Amino acid sequence: MNNNSKTKTKNGTPAISHPPGVSWSRRLGVTVIVLILDLIGFTMILPLFPSILSQYKLTDKSGWYATFSHYANSLGSMIGAPPQQPETVLMGGLLGSMFCLCQFVSCPILGAFADVYGRKKALMLCMVRFYGDLNLFK
């Protein structure tokens, strides 16, 4: 057996090593903080959905919002929803779901990028992209 072989478990898979000096409770604490920040980021825009959608309703020139509103009202009447703007509630749910879907798709890609190029470069890429999006949607 050479000195370069990694420690293996009984079934032959490589053993997972933990960084020295990092306790289980600290790792759990960091994980909880990251999840709380993620949930804050997800829910921060929820109070703005009604005003954003009313702006789209007023400025829609393509007719897409009117079509969506028609189908949402039909769906609302089928399921017995209150008649006060069911399209706003449905669109808010769809936008929130799209955020989660985009996060589900992009996180493994960004994680792989960070594994190859490093965390700092991945964070810089995200910040530059975020700045570009802010300027694009002013």
The tens digit of pLDDT for each residue in 52-86 reads 888 888 888 888 888 888 888 888 888 877 777 77
What per-residue confidence (pLDDT) applies to 98?
86
Q: How far is CA 132 from CA 26, 119, 121, in A?
A: 35, 20, 16
Whether the per-residue pLDDT at 11 is higher than 80: the answer is no
Tens of pLDDT, residues 89-129: 787 778 778 888 988 999 999 999 999 999 899 989 988 98
Element (H, E) at 41: helix 24-43
For the chain, give every domain's residue range: 48-136
pTM score of the predicted model: 0.55
Amino acid at residue number 99: F
pLDDT tier, 19 (very low <50, low <70, confident <90, very high otherwise) = low
Q: How far is CA 90 from CA 45, 47, 68, 69, 81, in A?
A: 15, 14, 10, 9, 11
User: Please, is 89 exposed, middle or buried when counting C-beta atoms within 10 Å of its C-beta (0-12, 13-18, 19+)?
Assistant: middle
